[in-house]
Amino acid sequence: MRILGIESSCDETACAVVEDGRKILSNVVNSQIEEHKIYGGVVPEIASRMHTEAIGAVCREALDKAGLTLDDIDALAVTYAPGLIGALLVGVNFAKSLGFAANKPLIPVHHIRGHIAANYLSFPQLAPPFICLVVSGGHTNIVEVLSYTDFKILARTRDDAAGEAFDKVARSLGFPYPGGIYIDKAAKLGREDAFRLPHPKVEGSPYDFSFSGLKTFVLNTVNHAKQKGQELNANDLAASFQKTVCDMLVSRLMQLTAQKGYRDVVVAGGVSANSGLREKLQSETKRLSLNLYIPPLSLCGDNAAMIASQGYYEYLAGNLADLSLNGCSSLPIEQSYICAQC
């Protein structure tokens, strides 16, 4: 079964063709980052307009690169939640129009379920159940993936997502948006024990995360140094911050993995590109003889191949939409789409 995936939840307009949920036939990502960089973050109105301008050509390119026409496509999968509402609506309405015109089934896909599915494209043998750390710009969760379409959140962030904390710390150090990758690069040149940073805990919820206190501590450290006219070693601060975040993520993931008795540990989302996180996960899972799955860098960030992959499993589970499909800015991963007509 060939599925055309469509993704426009934030600042990437993406279309891809995937066969049977596992094989990428094409994967086109049109990034808007250069436009948003000058504002230091994503401007929702600009994102929506740029998706509208790009989506037709991106879709055509995805079909061309796969060597297919719309007639060869069996269904359309589109990100409908969560994300920037104006941005989501561009993909949703494009998919609805295309589905109506070409008479193809329409599959609504949750963006974070898609990030997890990036691993199905990378590891043919991987199948649920497994435990998954989801670390993106908007989400930080430890999720039990019970089946392809059945999820249970075991831990969540109570405030900022990990990616958000990376981006805000990067901004305070003068790096461009999105700053996660610049912190990653700077950290390689710094000493991770140079700064003693807090490891915030959530009272009564030992596995939940809190990054805002850590972020504020780093921002205050930068501001105090500026006020006093002191030179601050950005590489050292980046390395210390990255180590603190990675320690928090990996230690809780390992504790929950042991508690639930999983052997397969999966990681998903943009922050899974972080080299410090990848190294720590590799060493810890090796020490504990666990199997680690992290997508290649090309599939860590937003793309539509992951949406088409998850779309395949949503289709098999009967999770289809009709033309009443709407975008939804926030939606728990546990909740499957409920069609208004069903």
What does the binding site for ligand KG4 look like in residue numbers (CB under 6 A)?
10, 115, 136-138, 163, 166-167, 178-181, 184, 269-271, 273-274, 301-302
CB atoms within 10 A of CB 297: 12
Q: 250 pairs with which residues across the strands? A: none
Q: What does 264 interact with, of Zn ion, ligand KG4, none (CB < 5 to 8 A by kind)?
A: none
Q: What does 167 interact with, of ligand KG4, Zn ion, none (CB < 5 to 8 A by kind)?
A: ligand KG4
In degrees and rounded to multiples of 5, residue 187 shows phi and psi of: -60, -30
Contact window for Zn ion (CB under 5 A) among 12-20, 89-97, 134-142, 192-200: 134-142
Q: How far apart are CA 289 and CA 124, in angstroms?
A: 20
Peptide bond preceding 82: is omega within 30 degrees of 0, i.e. cis?
Answer: yes
Residue number, 128 or 137, with CB nearest to ligand KG4: 137
Residue number, 73 or 303, with CB nearest to ligand KG4: 303
Q: How far apart are CA 56 and CA 61, in angstroms?
A: 9
Distances from the Cα of 206 to the Cα of 5, 104, 200, angstroms = 37, 46, 10
Residue number, 26 or 303, with CB nearest to ligand KG4: 303
Q: How far apart are CA 103 and CA 332, in angstroms?
A: 30
Which amino acid belongs to residue 111?
H
In the complex, minimum distance from the CB of residue 12 to ligand KG4, in angstroms, rounded to a whole number: 7
Residue number, 98 or 192, with CB nearest to ligand KG4: 192
Residue 136 lies near Zn ion (rule: CB under 5 A): yes
Residue number, 98 or 305, with CB nearest to ligand KG4: 305
8-state DSSP, 158: S
In the complex, minimum distance from the CB of residue 92 to ligand KG4, in angstroms, rounded to a whole number: 17
Binding site for Zn ion (CB under 5 A): 136, 302
